[in-house]
C-alpha cells in the first residue's frame, strides 16, 4: 500500500514539474511579446537595422540596444490593443452568459415557437379571414369571432371564428381561466353560459358582463356564496316525453354504474325510464319536484299513472303501469335505481334552486338566450354529484332553446 502511495506521489510531482516548465515558457513568451516586439518595431521606426532576430535579442539582453521613444509609442499601441481585446472578450462572455440564462428561463412553448409558423392575413385564424367569414352569416366585426391568443414568435393575434370550437388541455395553474375563459366571456357578443368548480369564473368577468345584462349565478353548494334569489323550474321545462327522457338520461349519466351487458345496466335503463315517467307526470300535474321525491318513496302510490292517463300520454303510462305491476323484488330494483339517480332532491338547499317559490324570480331560458346575459353555474365534483345533474340539465335546456330559436 505504501509503494502505491509513493508511486502516486512521484507521478504527481512529475506532473507539477511539467506544469511549472510550461508556466515558465509562457512567461518568457509573454515578455518577448510585450517588451521585445514593440522595442524591435520602435527601433525599425527610428532607423536601426539588425541582421537577424536572434542578433537583436542578444544585443538587447547584453545592453547594446538603446530604448527610443518610438518603442514607447509601439508599447502603448500594443497595450491599448490588449486592453481593448480583453474588454471585448469580457463583454462578449457576459452577453453569452446572459443569453444562456434567458434561454434556460424560456418556457418550452417559447423555445418551440422558433420552429412554428406565423399568422398572415391569408391565414384562417387571422382577423381578416374571421371577419370575412362572419360577414357571410350577416355578423359584424365585433360578433364574428373571439380573440384567442398571440403567437410567441411574431406577436400576431390569433382568432377563432363563430363556428369554431376550442378544447384546451392544460395542467393546473397555467392560466386556463384567466387567459382563455375570462377574456372570451368578457368579449362574447351574446349570452354566455360558463361553468367552473371555483368562484373565479364568477368574480373576474362579473363587472364587465353586468354592463350587458344580468349575471345569473347558480350556486346550490355555496361555492361563491350566492343566495337563491331566483329559481329554474326544471319540471316546468319538461313539457313532453322526449324532454322527460332527456333529463332523466342526464341524471343517469351523472351516477356511475354497471355496463349495458350486465344486470346492473338493465336496471339502470329501467330506473331511467321510470324517472322520466315521474318527471312528465309531475310536469303535467304542476306538482313540482317534491312530488317526484314522494312517488319514489312510495311504490304503492299510482298517482303518476292517473296523471299520465288523463293528460293523454298513453305510451309512457302503459310503460309505467308495467313497472308498477311487475313482481315486488324486481320493482324494488327499478325504484332503487331511480331513487339513486334522484337522491339530490333530498337536500332542500339544492331543490330551492329548482323549486318555484314566491318572491323569487323565475329563470326564463328563452329570454336569457335573447338578452345577452351571463349564466355562471358553480359546480363541485367532490361534495355531491348534485351540481353535475343540475348543471347538465340546465346547459342542455339552454342549448336546446337556442337551437329552436335559430331554426325559426
Per-residue pLDDT tens digits for 269-301: 899 999 999 999 999 998 888 899 899 999 999
Comparing 104 with 408, which gets the higher pLDDT?
A: 104
Q: Are 375 and 218 in contact (CB under 8 A)?
A: yes
For 103-134, the pLDDT digits (tens) are 666 677 677 777 777 777 777 888 888 888 88
Helix (H) / strand (E) element for 231: namely strand 230-231
Q: Are 130 and 161 in contact (CB under 8 A)?
A: yes
What's the mean per-residue pLDDT of the chain? 78
d(Cα 304, Cα 281) in Å, to the nearest integer?
A: 5
Question: What sign does the dihedral 366-367-372-374 (CA atoms) show?
Answer: negative
d(Cα 353, Cα 347) in Å, to the nearest integer?
A: 11
Residues contacting 266, CB < 8 A, separation 6+: 260
For 357-392, the pLDDT digits (tens) are 888 888 887 777 776 556 666 544 333 444 445 455
Hey, is 236 helix, strand or coil? Answer: helix
Residue 241 CA neighbour count, 13 Å, CB half? 14
Residues contacting 249, CB < 8 A, separation 6+: 272, 276
For 316-361, the pLDDT digits (tens) are 899 999 999 999 889 999 999 898 888 888 888 888 888 888 888 8
d(Cα 254, Cα 50) in Å, to the nearest integer?
A: 102
Q: Please give the pLDDT value at position 407.
A: 45
Percent of the chain whose predicted confidence (pLDDT) is above 90: 11
Annotated domain spans of the chain: 2-105, 185-232+353-408, 240-248+255-343
The answer to whether residue 406 scores a pLDDT higher than 50 is no
Residue 145, CA distances (Å) to 136, 187, 399, 407 in order: 13, 9, 19, 21
**Nearest partner of 381 among 273, 278, 255, judged by Cα:** 255
DSSP designation for 173: T
Amino acid at each position: 500500500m505504501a509503494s502505491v502511495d509513493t508511486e502516486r506521489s512521484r507521478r504527481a510531482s512529475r506532473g507539477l514539474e511539467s506544469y511549472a516548465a510550461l508556466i515558465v515558457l509562457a512567461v518568457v513568451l509573454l515578455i518577448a511579446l510585450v517588451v521585445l516586439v514593440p522595442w524591435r518595431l520602435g527601433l525599425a521606426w527610428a532607423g536601426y537595422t539588425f541582421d537577424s532576430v536572434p542578433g537583436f535579442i542578444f544585443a538587447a539582453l547584453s545592453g547594446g540596444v538603446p530604448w527610443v521613444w518610438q518603442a514607447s509609442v509601439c508599447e502603448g499601441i500594443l497595450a491599448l490593443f490588449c486592453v481593448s481585446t480583453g474588454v471585448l472578450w469580457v463583454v462578449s462572455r457576459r452577453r453569452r452568459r446572459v443569453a444562456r440564462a434567458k434561454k434556460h428561463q424560456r418556457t418550452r412553448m417559447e423555445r418551440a415557437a422558433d420552429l412554428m409558423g406565423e399568422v398572415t392575413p391569408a391565414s384562417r385564424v387571422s382577423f381578416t379571414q374571421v371577419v370575412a367569414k362572419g360577414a357571410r352569416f350577416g355578423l359584424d366585426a365585433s360578433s364574428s369571432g373571439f380573440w384567442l391568443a398571440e403567437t410567441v414568435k411574431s406577436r400576431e393575434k390569433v382568432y377563432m371564428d363563430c363556428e369554431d370550437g376550442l378544447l384546451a388541455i392544460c395542467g393546473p395553474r397555467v392560466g386556463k381561466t384567466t387567459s382563455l375563459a375570462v377574456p372570451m366571456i368578457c368579449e362574447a357578443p351574446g349570452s354566455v353560459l360558463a361553468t367552473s368548480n371555483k368562484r373565479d369564473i364568477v368574480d373576474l368577468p362579473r363587472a364587465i358582463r353586468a354592463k350587458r345584462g344580468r349575471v345569473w349565478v347558480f350556486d346550490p353548494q355555496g361555492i361563491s356564496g350566492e343566495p337563491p334569489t331566483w329559481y329554474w323550474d326544471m319540471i316546468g321545462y319538461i313539457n313532453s316525453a322526449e324532454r322527460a327522457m332527456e333529463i332523466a338520461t342526464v341524471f343517469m349519466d351523472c351516477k356511475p354504474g354497471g355496463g349495458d351487458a350486465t344486470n346492473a345496466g338493465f336496471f339502470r335503463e329501467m330506473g331511467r325510464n321510470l324517472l322520466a315517467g315521474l318527471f312528465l307526470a309531475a310536469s303535467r300535474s304542476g306538482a313540482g319536484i317534491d312530488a317526484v321525491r314522494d312517488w319514489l318513496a312510495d311504490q304503492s302510490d299510482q298517482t303518476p299513472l292517473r296523471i299520465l292517463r288523463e293528460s293523454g300520454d298513453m305510451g309512457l303510462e302503459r310503460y309505467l303501469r308495467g313497472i308498477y305491476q311487475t313482481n315486488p323484488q324486481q320493482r324494488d330494483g327499478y325504484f332503487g335505481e331511480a331513487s339513486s339517480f334522484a337522491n339530490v332532491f333530498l337536500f332542500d338547499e339544492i331543490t330551492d334552486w329548482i323549486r318555484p317559490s314566491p318572491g323569487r324570480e323565475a329563470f326564463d331560458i328563452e329570454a336569457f338566450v335573447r338578452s345577452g346575459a351571463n349564466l355562471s353555474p358553480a359546480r363541485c365534483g367532490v361534495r355531491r354529484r348534485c351540481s353535475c345533474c343540475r348543471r347538465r340539465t340546465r346547459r342542455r335546456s339552454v342549448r336546446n332553446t337556442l337551437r329552436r330559436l335559430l331554426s325559426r
